[in-house]
Amino acid sequence: MSLRAALFVLQIVAAASATAAEPVAPTCAAAADLGATPFAAWTLPVNDRAAAPEIGHPMALTFENGAASRPLRITEAGRYGIAADGKVWIDVRANAAPLASVGHGHGPACSGIRKIVWFTLAVGTYELALSKAEATSVRLLVVRAP
Report CA 105 to chain centroid distance, whole Å. Answer: 8
Highest mean pLDDT among 25-29, 58-62, 80-84: 80-84
Short-list 76, 44, 73, CA closest to 60: 44
Give the number of domains in the chain. 1
Determine, yes or no, domain membership for 19.
no
Determine, yes or no, domain membership for 134.
yes
Determine, yes or no, domain membership for 9.
no
Short-list 52, 76, 91, CA closest to 145: 76
Determine, yes or no, domain membership for 95.
yes
Q: Which domain holds residue 62?
A: 28-144
Determine, yes or no, domain membership for 51.
yes
Helices (H) and strands (E) in the chain, counts: 1, 9
Determine, yes or no, domain membership for 67.
yes
Q: Mind listing the pLDDT tens digit for each residue in 99-128? A: 999 999 998 888 899 999 999 999 999 999
* CATH number, position 105: 2.60.120.380
